[in-house]
Amino acid sequence: MTEFTPVLSLLGGALIGLSAVLLMAFHGRIAGMTGILTGLLPPVASDWTWRAAFIAGAIIAPSLVLSFSDHSIAFSSPVPLPWVIIGGLIVGGGVYFGSGCTSGHGVCGMARLSPRSIAATGTFMATAIVTVFVIRHLSGGF
């Protein structure tokens, strides 16, 4: 069963939107996590400092919330590890061939009304919906 958390989800979405707006305002860059992370891998981009700060903030901020609140994140996956790895590789291929990830297309590209991002977001949302339906309702899986 998936837990329904509308308030926390709304707050998280607002913070993601705020970070995207601030990154565009101060650095003129799209907040696509894949592009940001790619600039930290060899050959390292010349503007690596803001990229490292952005990734560090994405890792440290949730840790701080968990440290100073009574929230916890219980995580378990019924999906076998090889399937998770295969899924990650498929997503990585989609990011490469789609020229961006869900944060770049779905958050930033949609906000800019980019036709390419609208098409990409529609494609990955439709694919996700079909995948969940097939796995949960047709295959009797996870």
User: In whole numbers, what is the pLDDT of the chain averaged over residues?
Assistant: 88
User: 119-138 pLDDT, tens per residue?
Assistant: 999 998 999 899 889 988 88
Query: How many C-beta atoms surround the C-beta of residue 102 within 10 A?
Result: 20
User: 49-93 pLDDT, tens per residue?
Assistant: 999 999 999 899 888 988 998 877 777 888 888 988 998 898 888
Tokens representing 28 are 């003129």
The region, left, alpha or beta by phi > 0 then psi within -120 to 50, assigned to residue 113 is: left
Residue 17 reports pLDDT greater than 70 = yes
In angstroms, the Cα distances linking 135 to 3, 4, 16, 80, 139 are 18, 20, 29, 14, 5
Residue 114 reports pLDDT greater than 80 = yes
